[in-house]
Amino acid sequence: MNQIDLEGRMAVVTGGAQGIGRAIAERLIASGARVSLWDADAELVERTAGELGEGTVFQVVDQVDFGRVESAARATEDVLGRIDILVANAGIAGMNATVVEYPVEEWRRIVDINLNGVFHCCKAILPAMVARNYGRIVNVASIAGKEGNPNAAAYSASKAGVIALTKSLGKENADKNISVNCVTPAAARTRIFDQMSQSHIDYMLSRIPRGRFLKTDEVAAMIAWLVSEENSFTTGAVFDLSGGRATY
């Protein structure tokens, strides 16, 4: 494992209790950062924070509720002193159905969590980064946000929104020592698969030229550099983790 220097940095990882979020948190801790795990699953996030070791803290956060996100940001700064790094990873897949058959409330739920939730986290945490003239933000989108997966329009559209949000934030803060980027992973075998039909899982695998699903530590490796001080120029960019699927 390459050693990325995050010594003394304070990070928030949303959806940090399991899967990709947990792998990211583990990599940041190994690189010297202190991490606050944000997750909606109170029992799981507390257990994960304990497993990741002394110094790892957590907040129970429903990122759809901006008030709770603001409170979590203040509480995290009280404990860690500041937030240097935000990895906005939390999201859901939602159900698989055609647009015509998609329930309106399910559409709204997915967009609320996957897009509005990322906006809420960035909006709550970014002002203090601006005040200190330092910050690194990585939003976790999806290759589906670039290409659009059939029977997953809500998920695809929400992740496309995260890509555009990232580009806007990057441009708005390009005159500061703040980098805002996103990653667009292909599917990784995590508990998010529990929300998908087997036919959709098979479809996603068939689209990956490497012929396998992404590993969570591969996502963490890329993000560890993106949130480091070395990433001092790139902002508003999209980094693919698609196993060759991405065509642009």
102, 134, 155, 203: which is the annotated catalytic residue?
A: 155
* Residue 183 · residue 223 · CB < 8 Å: yes
Residue 179 DSSP label = E
DSSP one-letter string for 19-43: HHHHHHHHHHHHTT-EEEEEES-HH
Q: Where are the alpha helices (DSSP H) in the chain?
A: 19-30, 42-52, 66-80, 104-111, 117-132, 144-147, 153-172, 198-206, 216-226
Q: Kindly state the helix (H) or strand (E) to which residue 185 belongs, with its residue range.
A: strand 178-185
Question: What is the C-alpha separation between 67 and 70, in angstroms, rounded?
Answer: 5
Task: Read off the tokens for 91.
Answer: 């999201």
Distance of CA 167 to the CA centre of its chain: 15
Known catalytic residue at 134: no
What whole-number distance in Å separates Cα of residue 15 and Cα of residue 59?
Answer: 10
Residues with a catalytic annotation lie at 155
